[in-house]
Amino acid sequence: MQYRQIGNTGVNASILGFGCMRLPVVDGKSNQIDMDKTGELFRHAYDQGVNYFDTAYVYHGETSEVALGQGVRDFRDKVNIATKLPPNRSQSQDDMERFLDTQLQRLQTDHIDFYLLHALNKNSWQRLDELKVTDFLNRALADGRIRHAAFSFHDDLATFKQIVAAFPWAFAQVQHNFIQTDYQAGSEGIAYAAERGLGIVVMEPLHGGDLARENPATQPIWDAFPQRRSPVAWALRYLWSQSSVSVVLSGMSTMAQLQENLALANDQALCTPLSDAEKQALAEARAALLARTRVPCTRCGYCMPCPHGVNIPGCFEHFNKSSVFNNPATAKFHYGIFVGKEKDASQCRNCGRCLPLCPQHIDIPAVLKQVAEELA
């Protein structure tokens, strides 16, 4: 296993972090974690050098923290636990205190190594800032209940920079992979945070598993490269080649997934700077995937708000993912979860208000009709 320091914390973490959002479950029920299988995964990961485990209050119907606390209790002092405050449920500092105390109990520990504000966006950050969340963090840091404060993020670059500047965070956790170089914080945001001493923890390195599967758009590019690598290896190669990236999280639910990732994390060659040939291959793969995009939506948001409540950029995002990753089933599933019935394409009334607002001149009502037909 290879290790990197997280920002300026002095903590050396394994470059592979165990994400606890997709643990083995019983009978497909997400809130019934298979404790035996999960314990085996945690123990094997630890035995092979993984010392960073990431969970959250809400994962697996609020059972992930319990599973992690139970699974690592025999080697708790040898690993770093990261968990997250649920912003949407935090209406006061008393709520924050209560959540943290509950999390310490669930995790069977007297301290949390890295405590994150979960999935921040412009609105949630503004609300937490008004509640003086940094006062809460400073108290928890001072009394030792948390060792370091950080945040995970899902919004635009400007909001990311604002949050980075607001507090001496240990790290920022961002969604990043070789196809999403300019998505949310993006490469520019990562560089901005790293220049200010923050570590970078990456989530969704495989784009929810999309980049782990063979894809007719990218496989010929990988096959033509002199060095044979799996799609997973290429995705992790892109991230681990960046010295600013401290930890890459992977949500592993099987021993086979864990062993594949461990083998890659032990390969020092994957952590060296990219060669020109590798940069070219990754650029070609990204271009090949993006060429499968059906709607040239940039998520600028000029079409919003829709008077009928349609999340237009969200609808187009999942419509594009269906074709880009050749996986309509997953696109439908995510569309249902992240867009939802009240904001999906079926709510479009063809009023046309959005048409003159789109800089890309997309026939939005017509495309929404396609989205409704394909992703319903």
* Residue-wise pLDDT tens digits, 126-164: 999 999 999 999 999 999 999 999 999 988 999 999 999
Which pLDDT does position 34 carry in this prediction?
97
Strand residues in the chain grouped as ranges (E): 3-5, 12-14, 16-19, 25-26, 29-33, 52-54, 80-85, 112-120, 146-153, 171-175, 199-203, 245-251
Q: What angle do CA 291, 292, 295 make, to 5 degrees?
A: 95
Which pLDDT does position 356 carry in this prediction?
94
For the chain, give every domain's residue range: 3-283, 312-375
> Which fold would CATH assign to domain 3-283?
TIM Barrel (3.20.20)
> In this structure, what DSSP letter does residue 273 have?
P
Q: Is the peptide bond before 305 cis (omega within 30 degrees of 0)?
A: yes
Secondary structure (3-state) at 120: strand
Distance CA(63)–CA(26), nearest Å, equals 13
Which pLDDT does position 327 carry in this prediction?
87
Which pLDDT does position 344 carry in this prediction?
97
Which pLDDT does position 152 carry in this prediction?
97
Q: Give CA 288 to chain center in angstroms.
A: 23
Per-residue pLDDT of the chain (376 residues; tens, 9 = 90+): 999 999 999 999 999 999 999 999 999 999 999 999 999 999 999 999 999 999 999 999 999 999 999 999 999 999 999 999 999 999 999 999 999 999 999 999 999 999 999 999 999 999 999 999 999 999 999 999 999 999 999 889 999 999 999 999 999 999 999 999 998 999 999 999 999 999 999 999 998 888 988 899 999 999 999 999 999 999 999 999 999 999 999 999 999 999 999 999 999 999 999 999 999 999 999 999 999 999 999 888 899 999 999 999 999 999 999 999 888 998 999 899 889 999 999 999 999 999 999 989 999 999 999 999 999 8
For residue 81, what are the β-bridge partners?
53
Which pLDDT does position 349 carry in this prediction?
97
Which pLDDT does position 165 carry in this prediction?
98
Distance CA(240)–CA(229), nearest Å, equals 15
Which pLDDT does position 115 carry in this prediction?
99
| Per-residue pLDDT tens digits for 78-137 | 999 999 999 999 999 999 999 999 999 999 999 999 999 999 999 999 999 999 999 999
